[in-house]
Structure 1
């Protein structure tokens, strides 16, 4: 059955990563641990792309559930599920990187804006600039920490899924595969 056993064991490694991605994305909605910033629409727009919830979280989790419930699974089915996981983790990585590069949405002396938008990401290495953000308190540290966590987790997810994809393709070429479709028992 190709690499179904390997896919299942890899899935167990992906569940904690996916859960952490979801938690990190949810925390980005509540800068300084307060709900009023989301109510007043004063959060970074990239948070609404749900990179950790959708890309790094649910897509990876659904892939694991589908493969763990599979009774019969062809090489094609394993590769399709893993490709979805690779795309989800890549989406999480790209959106997190763009959000980190753009910087946080915060209140400055000039009002609510992205003060580091045209900075080219140099603000990340110039902590003295971080004080430009007056509200929410410590928003730069909050965003940098959580977005860096999302970058790291999505990179690990991508590598694990890519490893599974390579394994599935090698098994498809080197071993005879079954032509069955995936029968999923949900």
Structure 2
């Protein structure tokens, strides 16, 4: 499982970004789905890759050619070492990291594969199929899904554990990803896994 950008600045009510979750009901629904997905992954003993985005406090490592990152700097979001860049508590990795199947990766790009050990870790664990969830659907999720598909992974996107700034953007991104990945819901994924294990 790839759990992408479940961080304070993205999910917490006091966060600086809050992509697609400006209201409490949307936030609660997303967090509930993501928490249930993480719990299912742990029960199934899947490797879980928790990926966070974080930049140096001076943003010296920020890719300035990408408008969304320039906006990140302008609002002072996801500075490494600060609260906003930390994982959102209800969706955080098991800490201390006492599970041999949970990993924390940091990146400074759109795709979770860029500048990280993600591909290496997945291959070390014999992973051929990745289940992807995170925020935002149209940026880190879609960027990671596209690269995963190009690298030869079978990809599943859990739609209700993802969110974007606007519902239409979220839906458009899911439709785009459906060309290279299976787009499903948490309930559908659970039913499929139950059928496979019976």
With the length of structure 1 as denominator, give the TM-score of the two structures.
0.28
With the length of structure 2 as denominator, give the TM-score of the two structures.
0.26
Q: When you count helix as a share of all residues, which structure comes out higher?
A: 1
Higher RCO, Cα 8 Å, sep 6+: 1
The structure whose Rg is larger is: 1
Q: When you count strand as a share of all residues, which structure comes out higher?
A: 2
